[in-house]
Amino acid sequence: MHSVILHTATRLLISLILMFSIYILFRGHNQPGGGFIGGLIAASAIILYSVAFGPQWARDAMRLPCLSTAGFGLFLAAASGVLSLIGGAPFLTGLWYEPHLGLSMHLALSTPLMFDIGVYLVVVGALTGIALELEEASA
């Protein structure tokens, strides 16, 4: 089934949905949101792309296999806990690092952000992989 309306709408919406998922990911520290909700939104964008163009096109657009994406996310989430152990704090204790960039620029890196990015990647990889497998099996 090739729908011109679906193809056009998908091309317009996918970048907006992915940008919104990144916004929700970074917003999650101080307000509702975070890695899980952002990952659900990103997975929905990839699944929409799959419905419009086919699962193989979606796999090609992801550039990394779904299982590798989920595995790297799990590694990143676990590494955020190990960093706090290395720092002498209990597992998954939040640590912050604020490098001095000059020119009044402010950047704060933290293990909670690292954990959220890991959860984001796990959710995107797992849900997209399941959805693409189901779509391929039904075809």
pLDDT tens-digit series, residues 75-89: 999 999 999 898 888
CB 83 within 8 A of CB 118: no
Domain count, the chain: 1
Measuring CA to CA, which residue among 25, 45, 51 is closest to residue 37? 25
Q: d(Cα 29, Cα 31) in Å, to the nearest integer? A: 6
Could you say which residues of the chain have pLDDT below 70?
Answer: 1, 29-30
What is the domain range of residue 56? 4-138
